[in-house]
Amino acid sequence: MSLLVVGSLALDTIETPFGKAKDALGGSAVYISTAASYFTAPVKLVGVVGGDFPQSAIKFLEDRSIDVEGLQIISDGKTFRWSGKYHYDLNMRDTLFTHLNVFEKFDPKIPVAYRRCKYVCLGNIDPILQRKVLDQIEKPKLVVGDTMNFWIEGKHDELMKTLRRIDVLIINDSEARLLTQEPNLIRAAKKVIGMGPKILIIKKGEHGAVLVTENTIFSAPAYPMENIYDPTGAGDTFAGGFIGWLAKTDDLSDENLKKAVIYGSAMASFCVEKFSVDGLRELTYLKVQDRYRSFRDLSRFED
């Protein structure tokens, strides 16, 4: 089924205890689209970049069957840039700089050819812009959205309006607690579902993810990684794998949602093995299936 992804495209400068990368391809739309492209094609991308955005990055997206008709290129502007330095355990990082550049005035225009997409994934952008995207879409079957502390604290009322139009919200554990003012994650999840989303996924980093619906609570393990080089984009990659599988199967049953969480976790585990999107560049669908089966085996036992 058709999939639309709206979010940021960026050039990231990243330092971890295990290496550095300068002006590396990043941004929520890039990670989501790339991960989803292993399940469904073409993925339709909407975002904005400056004239300094590398042609090689656009070619990479096109080679992954990502439709970039909706990519706005501001030739006299500069691309969104972010720099971060991760601590030794990779759970904490310091933001060294954030230059929004052309992304500061991003006004998502959805091409006519994209407006009938049945699956929509909204990256971490202003909740007002998320609604503006939805205003341009004709009857989507499933809308997946992301947010962050900045919007929860700074645009709470606007976020509440947006949540009423989102089917699936994907956030981390600290964001869930901040959004609901509830320390217990299960109670927090139930509060979020009361805000509008029918489905909530709470990411817990190295401790996996929890899927909560009105009828289901499903805890997915994290893959035991020996080599983690760069966690940047792991959450967006998870979202891409999740919605990519749902768009491929067009099945929103609770059992298939569980599978989608595992596929999302599998894609995120590939992402962190290298810097930027390099962990996703040379994948095959067979490798993805092998990692999916490894995840499944982690929680299987005989009674």
pLDDT confidence band for 47 (50 / 70 / 90): very high
Closest of 101, 108, 105 to residue 123, by C-alpha: 108
What is the pTM assigned to this prediction?
A: 0.95
Quick one: pLDDT at residue 62?
A: 97
Q: Say if residue 169's pLDDT is above 80.
A: yes
Q: How confident is the model at residue 260 (pLDDT cuts 50, 70, 90)?
A: very high
Dig out the tokens for 176 from the structure: 């869930």
Cα–Cα distance between 26 and 287 in angstroms, integer?
A: 23
Question: Cα(80)–Cα(88) distance, rounded to whole angstroms?
Answer: 26
pLDDT band at 228 (very low <50, low <70, confident <90, very high): confident
Instruction: Encode pLDDT of 183-213 as tens digits.
Output: 999 999 999 999 999 999 999 877 789 999 9
Total domains in the fold of the chain: 1
Check pLDDT > 70 for residue 301: no
Is the pLDDT reported for residue 70 higher than 70? Answer: yes
Reported in sequence order, the residue ranges of 10-115 that DSSP labels E, i.e. its strands, are 10-16, 19-26, 43-50, 66-74, 80-86, 93-99
Provide the percentage of residues in the chain whose pLDDT is more than 70: 99
Helices (H), 122-233: 127-135, 149-154, 156-163, 173-180, 185-194
Higher pLDDT, 300 or 27: 27
Mean pLDDT throughout 28-36? 98
Task: Print the domain residue range for 131.
Answer: 3-298
127 part of a folded domain = yes
* pLDDT confidence bin for 77, thresholds 50/70/90: very high
Could you report the per-residue pLDDT of 126-147, keeping only the tens digit for each?
Answer: 999 999 999 999 999 999 999 9
- Which residues share a beta bridge with 219? 210
Residue 166 confidence (pLDDT) above 70: yes
Mean pLDDT of the chain: 94
pLDDT at 167 over 90: yes
Contacts of 59 (CB under 8 A, 6+ apart): none
Q: Describe the crossing of helices 156-163 and 127-135 by its angle, rounded to 10 degrees.
A: 30
CATH code of the domain in which 255 resides: 3.40.1190.20
Q: Is residue 303 part of a domain?
A: no
pLDDT at residue 50 above 80?
Answer: yes
| pLDDT of 65 strictly over 80 | yes
pLDDT score of 3 more than 70: yes
Percent of the chain with pLDDT over 90: 86
Q: Which residue has the higher pLDDT, 226 or 151?
A: 151
Residue 285 resides in a domain: yes
| Residue range 83-99: mean pLDDT, rounded | 88
User: Is 34 within a domain?
Assistant: yes
Note whether residue 197 is domain-resident.
Answer: yes
Inside any domain, residue 230: yes
